[in-house]
Amino acid sequence: MSVVAQTPIGTGLTWRSLARHRSARTIVGCAAVALFLVAWQIVGANEIIRSDLISYPSEVAETLISMTASGELGGNLAVSLEEFVQGFVPAIGIGVAAGIAFALSRRLHYLFEPLIVALNTSPIIAFVPIVVVWFGVGTQSKAIMVFLAAVIPIVINTMTGITQVHESWIRACRAFGASKFEVIVKAMLPGALPSVMVGVRLAVGRAIVGLIAAEMYVSVHGIGRLIQVYSTSERAAEIFVLVAVVATFGFLLVTLLRRLESLIAPWSLER
Amino acid sequence: MGRLDLEHLSLAYAQRGGTFLALSAVNLSIRDGEFVTIVGPSGCGKSTLLMLIAALLQPTSGAVRLDGRVVTAPGPDRALVFQDFALLPWRTVLANVELGLELKGVPAQKRSEIARRHIAMVGLGAFERSYPHQLSGGMRQRVGIARALAVEPQVLLMDEPFGALDAQIRQVMGSELLRIWERGRKTILFVTHDIDESIYLADRIIVMSASPGRVIADIAVTLQRPRPLEIRNDPAFTAYRQRIWDLLQQEVLASNSWEQSAAEPAAAMPAGAAT
């Protein structure tokens, strides 16, 4: 709609106009996805490639409907969501608190930095077996995995945010007689908020990986459990449904966090 | 009131191979309501002097007295206006101006009332809800000035407040500042490296020299007030300009030479003010 109106006559849809028009970008993006789906449908439905290996969109859609109708999807999704929340919420609280402490205390920083770097660079799913041994096959071990995966990027980005707070913001507060505590509350925390939000967004992806990996390893319920079950029975359509559900969840959560950020820290976008 | 006495104020930094004397035995008395400008080459310690008065830095020796009391800690009785504005980007104009009042413990209702009055005074009434990144440099510094005046300080300390602005905006801001000052006649200590600015604004000009920073002249300005912008072409104004330029010429040439700038510490603004 607005694309047509805003594009000068004769120039058509160029890359430059794409960069300018948000709605045009969305339309082109959707068109690419649609093209892909059509191609997939043709290749899969006509058995150009074995459909039990790659399935095809209409079969995936039917499977989504039947899995939803049977309650299989909803029940397992509820379990996964619960595990996610149980791990992610404490990860934000503890991660932010630890990040602040590490940024403000040189001693704590020196003490914990090697551990954080080690955890940050090691694949978190390697911890699944030991976490299961410690916390059992139930939801607790999954929440712990979510926590472990999420807490590291939150700690690191909170630390970075605090240490990169502009000297001038601190100076302004001090000049008007702010105490050390007031400097933290009025300059450091709000100044670090955009960086904290970056950490939380990064943590979403990592937490989902930790959760699904833990559920796939051993569990009774959950999306990861279903993926594992259907992979042994070679059911491509079901696996695609489950992957799509996980991807949608991650996408929605990150989008929500971006919205939240533009509400609580509108300045960070144009600093 | 707002009488400032600087008594034998010195500041030395530890440095590789000895100490660097940033300020040497500065004695200065500023009367209540006086508009004093401090002019000098970069590195002469003029900003450091303000930081000492604000008590964001502690002197090596000597003391700062405000109305007779020795100043030991930062406080709203001496409000600073910074060259880099130092506004909090996550706060609206209104909330930025409220900062000092918050720290002073003024209740919320009273706070926004006082802040609004000062925002209107600097001509930003329509921008209360704007964020600093939405404002021009000149507007941002108006916010900085409103924030400083809102706490009703005895002394206003201005550290090259218009240094980051274009030449034209700078002149306009100068005359605006005079207009505001004429209303309340608060004591103002205004640091600048712009000789014209120092004459245009001042009742009295303190000329400083570098390494070590010290006062080399104390000049009373007898130009009539209010001062139009064109006063810069007045023969009396030109005479002041010539006199200060003569005083500073040696200094400026010296501090601009290669050897001198290599020997000088990079931070005229002490790093200690940061943390």
pLDDT greater than 90 at residue A157: yes
Q: How far apart are CA B15 and CA B30, in angstroms?
A: 32
Cβ contact B86:A183 at 8 Å: no
Best B103, B106, B149 member to test A by mutation, with max A CBs in 10 Å, is B103
> pLDDT tens, A178-195?
999 999 999 999 999 999
CA angle A233, A239, A243 (to 5 degrees): 155
SS (H, E, C) chain B: CCCEEEEEEEEEEEECCEEEEEEEEEEEEECCCCEEEEECCCCCCHHHHHHHHHCCCCCCEEEEEECCEECCCCCCCEEEECCCCCCCCCCCHHHHHHHHHHHHCCCHHHHHHHHHHHHHHCCCHHHCCCCHHHCCHHHHHHHHHHHHHHCCCCEEEEECCCCCCCHHHHHHHHHHHHHHHHHHCCEEEEEECCHHHHHHHCCEEEEEECCCEEEEEEEECCCCCCCCHHHHHCHHHHHHHHHHHHHHHHHHHHHHCHHHHHHCCCCCCCHHHCC
Kindly list the residues from chain A whose CB atom is less than 8 angstroms away from the CB atom of residue B54: 175
Is the peptide bond preceding residue B226 cis, with omega within 30 degrees of 0? yes
Instruction: Please indicate if any CB of chain A lies within 8 Å of the CB of B163.
Output: no
Instruction: Identify the pLDDT of residue B257.
Output: 61
- Which candidate from A182, A191, A265 shows the least CB-CB separation from B103? A182
pLDDT at A140: 94
What confidence tier does A43 reach under pLDDT thresholds 50, 70, 90? very high
Q: How far apart are CA A204 and CA A89, in angstroms?
A: 11
Of A9-13, B2-6, B132-136, the one with minimum mean pLDDT is: A9-13
CA atoms within 13 A on the CB side of B275: 8
User: What is the residue extent of each domain of chain B?
Assistant: 1-72+155-165+188-214+236-267
> Among partner residues B74, B132, B274, which is closest to A175 by beta-carbon distance?
B74
pLDDT in tens, B152-196: 999 999 999 999 999 899 999 999 999 999 988 899 999 999 999
What is the predicted pLDDT for the residue at B275?
34
Distance, CA of A40 to CA of A54 (rounded, Å): 9
Distance from CA of B269 to the nearest CA of A (A): 12
Left (φ > 0), alpha (ψ -120 to 50) or beta: where does A239 sit? alpha
Q: Tell me, yes or no, if A188 comes closer than 8 A to chain B by beta carbon.
A: no
Q: How far apart are CA B155 and CA B5, in angstroms?
A: 12
Question: Taking residues A149-158, what's their average pLDDT?
Answer: 95
CB atoms within 10 A of CB B228: 10
Task: For residue range A204-228, list pLDDT tens digits in order.
Answer: 999 999 999 999 999 999 999 999 9
Residue A84 binned pLDDT confidence (cut-offs 50, 70, 90): very high
Is A176–B131 a contact, with Cβ atoms under 8 angstroms apart?
no
pLDDT per residue as tens digits for the range B121-156: 999 999 999 999 999 999 999 999 999 999 999 999
The answer to whether the Cβ–Cβ distance between A173 and B133 falls below 8 Å is no
pLDDT of residue A263: 85
Q: In this complex, do A169 and B88 lie within 8 Å of one another by their Cβ atoms?
A: yes
Please state which of the ranges A63-72, A86-95, B5-14, B252-261 shows the lowest mean pLDDT.
B252-261
Tell me if chain B has a CB within 8 Å of the CB of A172.
Answer: yes
Which of these CATH numbers, 3.30.70.2860, 1.25.10.10, 3.40.50.1820, 3.40.50.300, describes B1-72+155-165+188-214+236-267?
3.40.50.300
SS3 of A115, please?
helix
Chain A residue nearest residue B89, CA to CA: A267
Angle between helices A189-217 and A223-232 (to 10 degrees): 30
Q: How far apart are CA B17 and CA B38, in angstroms?
A: 30
CB atoms inside a 10 Å sphere around CB B210: 22
Look at B84 and A168 and tell me if their CB atoms are within 8 Å: yes
Identify the CA nearest to B90 among candidates A138, A191, A196, A92. A191
- pLDDT for residue B256: 64
Give the length of chain A: 271
Q: Which of B116, B114, B117, B145 is nearest to B128 (CA)?
A: B116
CB pairs under 8 A between A and B: 72
Helix A139-163 × helix A189-217 angle, to 10°: 150
Task: State the amino acid at position A111 in one-letter form.
Answer: L
pTM: 0.80
Distance CA B190, CA B210 (A): 18
Task: State whether residue A183 sits within 8 Å of chain B by CB.
Answer: no
- What average pLDDT is seen over chain A? 89
- Identify the three-state secondary structure at position A37: helix
- B99 and A CB contact within 8 Å: yes
Cβ-Cβ contacts under 8 Å, B80 against chain A: 172, 175
Q: Residue B274: pLDDT above 70?
A: no
Contact B275 A170 (CB under 8 A): yes
**Which stretch, A26-35, B20-29, B111-120, has highest mean pLDDT?**
B111-120
Q: Which residues of B touch A169 (CB under 8 A)?
A: 86, 88
User: In 3D, which of B119, B103, B96 has the Cα closest to residue B180?
Assistant: B119
Q: Is the dihedral of CA B135, B138, B142, B147 positive or negative?
A: positive
**Comparison of pLDDT for B170 and B264, the residue scoring more:** B170
Q: At what angle do helices A139-163 and A106-121 cross, to 10 degrees?
A: 130
Name the residue facing B131 among A175, A182, A267 (closest C-beta): A267
Is B88 in contact with A190 (Cβ distance < 8 A)?
A: yes
The region of weakest confidence among A10-24, B42-56, B57-71, B207-221 is A10-24
Q: Which of B86, B90, B151 sits opposite A267 (nearest CB)?
A: B90
Under an 8 A CB cutoff, do B88 and A271 touch? no
The question of ipTM being above 0.90 is answered as: no
Contact A191/B at CB under 8 A = yes
Mean per-residue pLDDT, B225-242: 93
Quick check: A175 and B56 CB within 8 A? yes
Contact across the interface for B89 and A187, Cβ inside 8 Å = no
Residue A146 has pLDDT above 80, yes or no: yes
Whether A186 and B99 lie within 8 Å, measured CB to CB: yes
pLDDT value for A266 = 79
Give the mean pLDDT of A93-113.
92
What pLDDT sits at residue A12? 59
Among residues A147, A88, A191, A240, the alpha carbon closest in space to that of B87 is found at: A191
Q: What is residue B273's predicted lDDT score, i.e. its pLDDT?
A: 39
Check residue B44 and give its pLDDT: 84
pLDDT at residue B15, rounded to an integer: 82
DSSP code of residue A126: G
Q: What is the largest CA-CA distance in chain A?
A: 75
Note whether B90 contacts A191, CB cutoff 8 Å: yes
